[in-house]
Amino acid sequence: MSKPELMQYVESLVERKEFPSFKAGDTITVSYKIKEGNKERIQQFQGVVLQRSGSGSTETFTVRKISGNTGVERIFPIASPFIDAIEVNKHGVVRRARIFYLRGLRGKKARIKEKRM
């Protein structure tokens, strides 16, 4: 088997859930399953999407939130079995695919305009 065929075979084994479409600048809530010992709970992580990268089963997205005056970023693989649900709270208006400039902004300057529907 050649490398592309092997990748297609592995991607066919991974089952993907359907999530709503979102892009950089959108505010989303990711419900993430966490296992602690023999217990399992769902934790919400709400923040702004900084980027989406990759394609297929290797696609990831980065979410940033401010927690107690500290910026927290988390990278989620889109094909992760631990992601329970993704909810889009706001669609933002940005002119970049990767909005890393948000890292240097604080307070009101870090706000993103909301897309009007």
Q: CATH for 3-94?
A: 2.30.30.790
- Taking the C-alpha atoms of residue 101 and residue 98, their distance in angstroms, rounded to an integer, is 8
Read off the pLDDT of residues 26-67 as tens digits, 9 standing for 90 and up. 999 999 999 988 999 999 999 999 999 988 778 899 999 988
- Taking the C-alpha atoms of residue 85 and residue 87, their distance in angstroms, rounded to an integer, is 7
> What integer best gives the mean pLDDT of the chain?
86
Coarse DSSP helix, strand, coil percentages of the chain, rounded to the nearest 5 percent: 20, 45, 35
- 93 Cα distance to chain centroid: 17
